[in-house]
Amino acid sequence: MLHSGAYLPATRIAYRTHGTLNADRSNAILFPTWFGGQHDANEWIIGPGHALDPSRYFIVVVNILGNGMSSSPSNTPAPTDGPRFPLVTVLDNVILQQRLLAEAFGIERLALVVGRSMGAQIAFQWGAWFPDAMAALLPFVGSARTSPHNWVFLENVKAAITSDPDWCGGDYAVQPTLAFRRMRLVFDSWGLSQAFYRQGLHLQMGFHTTADFINRPMPASNADANNVLAQAATWQAADLSANHRFQGDYAAALRTITARTIVMPSRTDLYFPPEDSEIEISHMPNAELRVIPSVWGHRAGAPGTDPADTAFIEAAISDLLAG
Is residue 230 within 8 A of residue 136, CB to CB? The reply is: no
Query: Is position 293 an interface residue for its own copies (rule: CB under 8 A)?
Result: no
Determine whether 39 is an active site residue: no
Q: What is the spatial distance between Cα 183 and Cα 232, in angstroms, rounded to a whole number?
A: 12
Candidates 41, 178, 223, 252: give the one binding its own copies (CB under 8 A): 178
Q: What is the spatial distance between Cα 79 and Cα 313, in angstroms, rounded to a whole number?
A: 42
* C-alpha distances out from residue 320 to 88, 287, 288, 315, Å: 30, 11, 11, 9
Q: What is the spatial distance between Cα 64 and Cα 134, in angstroms, rounded to a whole number?
A: 19
**Binding-residue pattern over the window 239 to 278 for its own copies, x denoting contact by CB under 8 A:** -------------------------------x--x-xx--
Question: Each residue of 204-218: b (16+ CB within 10 Å) or e?
Answer: eeeeeeeeebeeeee
Select from 18-26, 97-105, 190-198, 248-256 the region that touches its own copies (CB under 8 A).
190-198
Task: Out of 239, 269, 306, 309, pick the active-site residue.
Answer: 269
Q: What is the spatial distance between Cα 233 and Cα 154, in angstroms, rounded to a whole number?
A: 9
Whose Cβ is closer to its own copies: residue 95's or residue 270's?
Answer: 270
Candidates 11, 26, 80, 156: give the one binding its own copies (CB under 8 A): 156
Task: Out of 4, 72, 74, 117, pick the active-site residue.
Answer: 117
Q: Minimal distance in Å, beta carbon 15 to its own copies?
A: 34
Whose Cβ is closer to its own copies: residue 148's or residue 217's?
Answer: 148
Whose Cβ is closer to its own copies: residue 111's or residue 192's?
Answer: 192
Determine whether 298 is an active site residue: yes
Query: Is position 169 an interface residue for its own copies (rule: CB under 8 A)?
Result: no
Determine whether 309 is an active site residue: no
Which residues, 6+ apart, have CB-to-CB distance to 212 below 8 Å?
none
Candidates 188, 288, 314, 319: give the one binding its own copies (CB under 8 A): 188
Candidates 26, 80, 189, 258: give the one binding its own copies (CB under 8 A): 189
287-289 and 260-263 strand pairing: parallel
Which residues, 6+ apart, have CB-to-CB distance to 217 below 8 Å?
none
Query: Is position 159 an interface residue for its own copies (rule: CB under 8 A)?
Result: yes
Query: Is position 198 an interface residue for its own copies (rule: CB under 8 A)?
Result: yes
Q: Minimal distance in Å, beta carbon 239 to its own copies?
A: 13
Question: What residues are annotated to the active site?
Answer: 117, 269, 298
State the residues that interact with its own copies by CB under 8 A: 147-153, 155-156, 159, 163-165, 178, 182, 185-186, 188-190, 192-198, 200, 202, 210, 214, 270, 273, 275-276
